Amino acid sequence: MTHGDEDNTQIQMRWKLKNVLPGKMVRRCNDSLLKFGLLGFLGLFIIYLQYKPAPVTEEHIPDGLIEVRADENGRHLMKEFAAKRRKRRLLLNDACQNSTENHETLDIDQLDHIIVNDKYKALFCYVPKVACSQWKRVFLMMSGNVSDPKTLDEYSVHTTYSHLLRYLNTYEPGEIKHKIKNYKKFIMVRNPLDRLVSAFKNKFHGTGFKDARFKNIGKYIVRTYRKKFTEPVFGDDVTFLEFVRYVIDNKVGVRDEHWRSITDLCKPCQIDYDFIGKQETINEDADFIMSQMAPHIEFPVKPAVYGSSNTTKSTPFYLSQLPFGHVGRLWDIYRDDFVFFNYSFLKHVDKISYLVR
């Protein structure tokens, strides 16, 4: 820098310093001040960049889903479910790629568990023993044919009002293809062993036994799989071991929808579901599904006494009544459900040895 580039203040400062300091020290001091000034400016600029407020960007919402909550908590919830949705779908897609299920063609007759609502453009595969009654109640409300939800109890949704629901297998092939491609598609799943135990407890030792069909199945199980029985047989004392023998016997018993595999009911390798909900997280998953499907309808939550956690706790006890060979046969039947929906087969099985000691 020349004297012609300096302002009066710098010149005066240089001359004052010359009067008290040697010349070399003055030049060093002047250079140090310049370097310090440059470093200071650079430091402040870096701090500005580091703490500069980031521009507000909209959270990316996956295809097929909409954001219905604009507040901060809503956006956080959407982000959380987007990650959950992505993880569950990726796991399912990867598993399907390695399964023979992926190569099966979709038969129209196999779509009898997928409920359709054309008004809301929604498809939902209902699975018995996975809040099935509650979901049917929701779709009956969405249909607009039922104005008072109080009339929709656990039994009437399957009997009195069941004709008001329409299923995907009742449409023409072209319509089915269009709906699968363009409608939002949802499914709820559950740990297969918990679901099996829940079906046994409800249909043979609970309110479900009121159904004549399960009374007849109970009688058949006792007469077929019990070495000694006394007539008359009522079928109300079926043991879990006898029930499992019925289920695994050449897969004759497994055809009933209440313990038939979810893979067989909903065809997840042929139908690309937008969201996979789980019974184990039903409250938040159901709220999310409703927010995407019909935000004005509230999902009917059952009292805690009916929660899946009670069944989950008792499942190892029921499994401990089975020979290990029977447990292995259950794995064969429900293998795809465990793999496709990321459930651990050993979660309950590991506890059996402890219970039988």
What's the confidence (pLDDT) of residue 332? 94
Q: Which amino acid type is present at position 329?
A: R
Tens digits of residue pLDDT in 57-71: 333 344 445 444 444
Closest CA to 334 of 199, 225, 195: 195
**Position 214 confidence tier, pLDDT thresholds 50, 70, 90:** very high
pLDDT at position 9 over 60: no
Stated pTM of the model: 0.76
Q: What are the residues whose beta carbons fall under 8 Å from the beta carbon of 315, sequence distance 6 or more?
A: 191, 193, 194, 197, 348
Tens digits of residue pLDDT in 164-205: 999 999 999 999 999 999 999 999 999 999 999 999 999 999
Q: For residue 242, what are its two tokens?
A: 């006898």
- Percent of the chain's residues with pLDDT above 70: 73
Distance, CA of 296 to CA of 180 (rounded, Å): 24
Q: Among positive and negative, which fits the CA dihedral 299, 133, 168, 144?
A: negative
What's the confidence (pLDDT) of residue 357? 44
Q: What are the residues whose beta carbons fall under 8 Å from the beta carbon of 144, sequence distance 6 or more?
A: 119
